[in-house]
Structure 1
Amino acid sequence: MNLRALWFDLDETLYPRSSGYMNALDARINLYLTRKYDIPQTEASAFRFRLFTTYGATLMGLYKEYSVDYDDYMAFVYDVNPAPYFPANPVLKSVLQSLPQEKIVFTNSGYDYSVRILRHLDILDCFKSIHFLDRDMISKPMPEAYEKVRRATGYDFSESLFIDDTERNLKGARDLGLAVLKIDETGMDDDYPVIRKAEELGSYLRNISL
């Protein structure tokens, strides 16, 4: 396989799940639901989980069921400073800079937020492009989302490696013919190749034959 491109998820892929940062974002989503849609606080988490599991992103679910305002949601939910949760990551930056493949971010989060997180990690300049959940509401694991990235980058699925922490996104990629790699801090998975953190990617690529 001629591996030319690395497609990275953002949240809990380029920073660790154990940081607790996504928990803070989930709390903001719950608060948004209670304020905008009068969802009782005791039901907000279950409501958010239903939207996420049904549509692939909470924002997508709110758009489908409530015609949510994209900008209003993005401004409120992602207003969480990452600094208390994880620092800049010079080790990850060094690993990314050492890899010859073109690197892109492919996320179900928004563009401004993605730039802010990548800049905080000090790895923004490692990526050629950012592919995000836009107003068209095309998100992973919809096949159209992967096709959109393929068209934008010019890299075929057969020459790309997709790196994510979420199994349904990995399945969506694999079903289309992408090589996949899971990020899981346990280092264990029966269905997908796995590394514990993105910093291990260089050694993973050296130790396999693609």
Structure 2
Amino acid sequence: MSADLRHVDTWLFDLDNTLYPVESGFMGEIERRMTAYVERVTGLPRDEAFKLQKKYLADYGLTLGGLVEHHGVDPADFHKIFHDMSLEALAQDPELVAAIERLPGRRLIFTNADDVHARRVLDHLGLKHLFEDVFHIGSADYVPKPAPATFERMSAAHAIAPAATAFFEDSERNLEPAAQLGMTTVLVGPHAAASTAPFVDYRTEKLAPFLAHAQLREAA
């Protein structure tokens, strides 16, 4: 059965591994660059740097959080390591472009990436013109999802009405605070079907067909 999203007029999307498939391998390159950065900042061997990176991710919701807290890293310096990444692994998906284009109301990006990375990826995917704005990690004063304060900041910045908002994410834990606010939550990706989290309303492996077949309110 298609998802009933007729109550939705604000469409909130995560970026990485949500608006493009995990299988692209693009996030793998992001992770490799993060590990190399941790290695350079700490002087640890690569395998130890990788373990520390994952620990910071688990403890802070973002590798950057641990780097700032324990190593005094400048967030802007950290994010520069992604600005020259090749985007060749990411392919435009005409079905996804069409599916997002049919969504009535506002469309926003809510990402733990910075603004330069987000806009480069959106532009490459042919999606930038479909989104009203990007709420990025800088907008959140570098406090990442799933921090409730970041959801509150994003909601205030864009006058979000949670009951009329759907949030699409590849990270299950980032959906919990959205659900607590009253948003409709959609888990995206190959792992979605296995999720049993009570705060996830819908699960889909592929975003484009889910959106294409969803029940929507008629445009005014």
TM over 0.5: yes
- 1:71 and 2:76 correspond: yes
Correspondence for 1:108 among 112, 129, 135: 112
Match of 1:55 among 32, 48, 60: 60
Q: Could you say which residue in structure 2 is the equivalent of 1:38?
A: 43
In the alignment, residue 132 of structure 1 is paired with which amino acid?
H
Alignment of 1:194 with 2:191, yes or no, is: no
| 3-state SS, counterpart of residue 73 of structure 2 | coil
C-alpha deviation, 1:131, in angstroms: 0.3
1:115 Cα shift?
0.1
Contact residue 7 and residue 162 of structure 1 kept, 8 A? yes
Q: Counterparts of 1:171 and 1:64 in 2: how far apart (Å)? A: 25
In structure 2, runs of 5+ residues without a counterpart are: 1-5
- Once residues 29 and 201 of structure 1 are traced to their aligned partners in structure 2, the CA distance between those partners, rounded to angstroms, is 32
Matches within 5 A, 1:80-119: 80-83=85-88, 85-119=89-123
1:44 Cα offset (Å): 1.7
Contact 2:14/2:169 (<8 A) preserved: yes
Residue in structure 2 matching 1:5, options 6, 10, 24: 10
SS in structure 2 opposite 1:180?
Answer: strand
Cα offset for 1:78? 4.4
State the 1:186 CA deviation: 4.8
Q: CA deviation at 1:124?
A: 0.3
- Residue 205 of structure 1, CA deviation: 2.4
Q: How many residues align?
A: 206
Deviation of 1:187 (Å): 5.0
Q: Residue 35 of structure 1 aligns to which amino acid in structure 2?
A: R
SS of residue matched to 1:14: coil
Aligned-CA RMSD value: 1.7
Report sequence identity in percent: 27
Structure 2 counterparts to residues 134-173 of structure 1, below 5 A: 134=138, 136-173=141-178
Asked if structure 2 preserves the Cα contact closer than 8 Å seen for 1:195 and 1:204, the reply is: no
- Give secondary structure in 2 for the equivalent of 1:182: strand
Helix, strand or coil for the counterpart of 1:36?
Answer: helix
- Off by >3 Å, runs of 4+ in structure 1: none
